[in-house]
Amino acid sequence: MIDPGGSGPGSDDAAGGESGQRRRSIVKIQLDEKSFLRRRPEVEHEREVALFDLLEENDFILKGEGAAPGPFHLKLGLAEDRLIFEVRDTTDALCREVVLAVKPFRMIIKDYFLICESYFDAIKTLSPSQIEAIDMGRRGLHNEGAQMLRERMAEHAELDQGTSRRFFTLLCVLHMRG
């Protein structure tokens, strides 16, 4: 579980109260440990960076009647081919559970995994210009997956582009189970 301690930007004591930005954010994230296995170091690094960056800067607003204002705690997991966002308030009371089918993401995740493998292999042997070309393709697929996630979440929550990109990274990591 990623949970920044002290009085940093993600803590409940940050900014001395319910600032507008903090109220629109996720301040604690837990990945369902049953949903994923540890993978190669590059993938673990991407997961850690996505979690850290998501806590440092995100914009997450629940939509709909009776939507809690935040800040939020989030548990993210996979169950029966569904991506589950368990959104809670800071007392850990359930605000909403958002469930998305993973099937629409499968092709882009598969393509993303393939290009990531090419990228990790390329950084060992290819020239900087060749690595940059592969990385541009990798970023393009990542943006496409993030946009798809943002669109699928639109009826449940409003996300900014950076937040949806980090969620797509976590979806890919969770999808790597087994």
pLDDT in tens, 16-30: 344 445 567 899 999
**Whole-model pTM over 0.85:** no
Backbone dihedral angles phi then psi of residue 78, each to the nearest 5 degrees: -120, 140
pLDDT per position as a tens digit, 108-156: 999 998 998 899 899 999 999 999 999 999 999 999 999 999 999 999 9
Contacts of 12 (CB under 8 A, 6+ apart): 27, 71, 90
Q: Cα dist. 27→61, 120, 121 in Å?
A: 13, 31, 35
Cis upstream peptide for 9 (omega within 30°): no
Q: Determine the pLDDT at residue 152.
A: 97
CA 144 – CA 163 distance, rounded (Å): 14
Nearest to 102 by CA among 76, 72, 73, 63: 76
pLDDT for the residue 23: 66
Identify the pLDDT of residue 8. 36
Per-residue confidence (pLDDT) for residue 38, from 0 to 100: 61
Q: Which amino acid is at 130?
A: Q
How high is the mean pLDDT of the chain? 83
